[in-house]
Amino acid sequence: MKKILISVLVLAGLLLNLPLRADEGMWLPLLVKRLNYEQMKKMGCKLTADEIYNINNSSLKDAVVMLSGGSCSAEAISAEGLLLTNHHCGYEAIQTNSSVGNDYLTNGFYAKTRADELPTGGITASFLVRIEDVTARVLAEVNSGMSESERTAKVRQMYKTIETEATTGTNYNASVKSFFNGNEYYLFVYETFTDVRLVGAPPESVGKFGGDTDNWMWPRHTGDFCMLRVYAGKDNKPAAPSPENVPYKPKHFLPISLDGVKEGDFTMVMGYPGTTDRYLTSYGVQMALDLSNPAVVKIRDKKLKLMKEDMDASTEIRIKYASTYAQTANYWKYFIGQSEQLKNNNVVQKKKDLETKFQTWAGADPTRQAKYGSALAEIEKAYQDLRKITLNRTYLNEAVLQGAAVGSIAMQMSQLKDILADSANAAGPLAEVKAEVAAMYKDYNEPTDRKLMEAMIAMVMADIPKEMQAPIFDTIRIKWNGNVKAFVDDVYARSIFASAAKFNAFLDKPSLVVFESDPAAKFSSGVLDHYMKTFRPVITEIQGRIERGNRAFVAGLREMMPEKKFYPNANSTMRLTYGSVQEYDPRDAVEYEEYTTIKGVMEKEDPTNPEFVVPARLKELYKAGDYGIYGENGSLNTCFISTNDITGGNSGSMVVNGKGQLIGCAFDGNWEAMSGDIFFEDKIQRTISVDIRYVLFLIDKLGGAGHLVDEMKLMKKGKEVKRS
């Protein structure tokens, strides 16, 4: 029966021009009216283009929120500044507010009143004011005779000028971003709020259900959501965090659909995808497969194992390292999956095929040959040079900069050298540093940090050629006879950065001599200085060649295929993607349906595995079939998949139906298409979203916070309804 229905749907799709494959493209909302709107209407979009993006009147874009400069996305879901995003986007805020005696990670949290809402520790919420094409201005003084460094300097100078003009006399902030590898430039103007508070989150047994095992996988049963609230001054403008602030009133908030989703339904996502590299050449893909991806996985695998040992032994340490562990694990699995699918989906060969076509096209015309003929050769030679030093750069970032906290803090505090040298004016800056000490060490456990530093140093010394290592590693070999543990023990015994107490004691009696002789400071500065002097200039020059080659390659591709609608790589700017709810068949004899239900939660339950624990109250509600107005046909949907094109940064993005009503919150991609950031897999790429009805059920029935649902505008069959 299922296959018959699929055949009918395929036929309907052919007749109605509705694609049953993934819908590629992360489109700038500014250009949707010209590039995409007619196709969106055919697929089921009922909104006008102006209802999606308009700078003069309220539109859908006014409900879309960029969190903390692009770390995640969110959406306004009430007239009182209530935001919905993913549990993992608010995870650090939940962790920061947790303690052994008040464990919100384990138990969840819902504010009963506005006064109970909690600080988030620095999350910001930015609303887009407008987008403007500034390509002509940015490139006005750029010419082909410039070196790449001269061109970059001129472009950055124009960025600053345009951004300043856009924000002078306003409370806005602005950013000019490059598109199509430096061929176009757009200005983004934002209104950014710094008073953002935690309103509610389910227990992590719900918000992280499935843990690392289910991460990037379908089928999924995760209630991956949390709620924040934006606060403003009484004039509804951004204001510093204060008890006097009031809930922000957004220009637009999303009504919520209780109608559910079915296969073929139109879906639209708007959010802030972080980074894609879809124009990456085969040379870059091969380097990732051979060098950088395996290195990241190897280093993170070691860090995860060391943290997990201590987290399993102590509730206090588990809470302290929960956010760091989750962030590390997410992209550890991402790079495993990306490498696997780059191979499975034959991406290197697909890239080579396009490059061969491009080279043939460029060589067929003297003018094109002059403009584009050398682009790929330049890129290839640059990657040959970059391969020689890319491991060194990867290990610096993963093992040193993001290794042990002591080394990272010492590196961040390198400014102390200049502050202490100017003793007459040091008091103010030192007081500012002291005010931040508690935050620096809030998630610090010295024994765990020692193990991390020892392991990371040992990996650098074993995996990076000696001639490329900083002199400090020779010191370990000579002075410490290669005994990394002895060196690390000395660092933690003598360093002012080994604990908050030691650092505070130093700040009470600061000394330039003590700072310069500190073993952690000497180690971190020794590694970084060596990199900056020896490798940074080389990498900058190589990257300049890659950028120049890519700029010509992408310009040529767009000229070669004038009939194709091109979209730019993601770069943490607002994008719109459209698609439909669709199942998929990833491999022989495997067929995934387009939605999951609460029954699957119970089927996955494993009380012996922390990733698959099910709260007792949730089991009670399931047994009683008590789903309130959120159920459907005696069941409750949990998640669904659609053909929308998303990536990291889209976490928490709204998923709306053709009427602009919220139907879900996007939180993941699927394993089989994890090469998608580099090459879009149109037959199998899917977006995984938590069904909004499951979110509301968890807030209301499981969390007992129906008052938060009452803030929202619930729609069913075209009419506004109440939860009871």
Within 8 A by CB and 6+ apart from 94, the residues are: 87, 104, 105, 109, 198, 201, 204, 226
- Bridge partners of 131, per DSSP, are 188
Distance CA 232, CA 229 (A): 10
Helix spans in 44-80 (H): 49-52
H or E element, residue 146? none
- Bridge partners of 75, per DSSP, are 64, 84
221 is catalytic: no
Position 369 scores a pLDDT of 97
Dump the DSSP string for 221-239: -----EEEEEEE-TTSS--
- Residue matched to tokens 């803090």: 409
CA angle 564, 569, 570 (to 5 degrees): 135
Position 350 scores a pLDDT of 97
What single-letter DSSP state applies at residue 568?
P
Contact present, 335 and 291 (Cβ < 8 Å): no
The string of pLDDT tens digits covering residues 91-144 is: 999 999 999 999 999 999 999 999 999 999 999 999 999 999 999 999 999 998
* Strands 714-716, 256-257: pairing kind: parallel
The string of pLDDT tens digits covering residues 613-650 is: 999 999 999 999 999 999 999 999 999 999 999 999 99
pLDDT exceeds cutoff 60 at 362: yes
Position 537 scores a pLDDT of 95
- Other beta carbons less than 10 A from residue 477's beta carbon: 15
The string of pLDDT tens digits covering residues 270-320 is: 999 999 999 999 999 999 999 999 999 999 999 999 999 999 999 999 999
Distance CA 80, CA 82 (A): 6
> To the nearest whole percent, how much of the chain has pLDDT over 70?
97
Position 724 scores a pLDDT of 76
> To the nearest whole percent, how much of the chain has pLDDT over 90?
95
Burial letters 576-586, b for 16+ CB under 10 A, else e: bbbbbbbbbeb
In total, the chain counts a number of residues equal to: 724
What single-letter DSSP state applies at residue 353?
H
Contact present, 267 and 578 (Cβ < 8 Å): yes
Distance CA 491, CA 148 (A): 42
Dump the DSSP string for 230-285: EEE-TTSS---S-TT-EE---S----EE-S---TT-EEEEEE------TT--HHHH
The string of pLDDT tens digits covering residues 303-314 is: 999 999 999 999
Position 22 scores a pLDDT of 59
707 is catalytic: no
* Per annotation, catalytic residue among 23, 78, 88, 677: 88
Distance CA 92, CA 121 (A): 8
H or E element, residue 472? helix 471-479
What single-letter DSSP state applies at residue 643?
-
Distance CA 495, CA 532 (A): 24
88 is catalytic: yes
Helix spans in 17-103 (H): 32-35, 37-43, 49-52, 91-96
Mean pLDDT of the chain, nearest integer: 95
Burial letters 631-654, b for 16+ CB under 10 A, else e: beeeebbbbbbbbbbbbbbbbbbb
- Bridge partners of 64, per DSSP, are 75
The model's pTM is 0.94
Position 252 scores a pLDDT of 98
Distance CA 607, CA 674 (A): 30
The string of pLDDT tens digits covering residues 1-58 is: 333 333 333 333 333 333 445 589 999 999 999 999 999 999 999 999 999 999 999 9
Contact present, 444 and 405 (Cβ < 8 Å): yes
Q: For 209, what's the count of Cα atoms within 13 Å in the CB-facing half-sphere?
A: 29
The string of pLDDT tens digits covering residues 71-94 is: 999 999 999 999 999 999 999 999
For the chain, the structural domain boundaries read 18-124+194-274+571-721, 126-193, 289-345, 404-534
Tokens of 641: 């998949």
- Bridge partners of 691, per DSSP, are 664
Distance CA 163, CA 189 (A): 8
Position 143 scores a pLDDT of 93
Distance CA 488, CA 144 (A): 51
Distance CA 167, CA 90 (A): 29
- Bridge partners of 592, per DSSP, are 584
Confidence of residue 423 (pLDDT cuts 50, 70, 90): confident
pLDDT exceeds cutoff 60 at 64: yes
The string of pLDDT tens digits covering residues 219-253 is: 999 999 999 999 999 999 999 999 999 999 999 99
Nearest to 175 by CA among 137, 136, 132, 140: 132
pLDDT exceeds cutoff 90 at 711: yes
The string of pLDDT tens digits covering residues 156-168 is: 999 999 999 999 9
* Per annotation, catalytic residue among 23, 214, 224, 700: 224
Distance CA 6, CA 694 (A): 27
Looking at 105-182, which runs of residues are DSSP E strands?
Answer: 109-110, 118-119, 125-133, 173-179
Dump the DSSP string for 198-221: EEEE--HHHHTTTHHHHTT-SS--
**What residue type is assigned to position 57 of the chain?**
N
**Candidate CATH numbers 2.40.10.10, 2.60.120.920, 1.10.2020.10, 2.40.10.120; the one for domain 18-124+194-274+571-721:** 2.40.10.120
**What residue type is assigned to position 140 of the chain?**
A
Position 8 scores a pLDDT of 34
In the three-class reduction of DSSP (H, G, I as helix; E, B as strand; rest coil), residue 130 is classed as strand
Q: Compute CA distances 662 → 84, 182, 223, 590, 689, whole Å.
A: 10, 35, 16, 30, 11
Position 181 scores a pLDDT of 97
* Per annotation, catalytic residue among 651, 653, 675, 689: 651
The string of pLDDT tens digits covering residues 531-554 is: 999 999 999 999 999 999 999 999
Dump the DSSP string for 672-684: GGTTTTTS--TTT
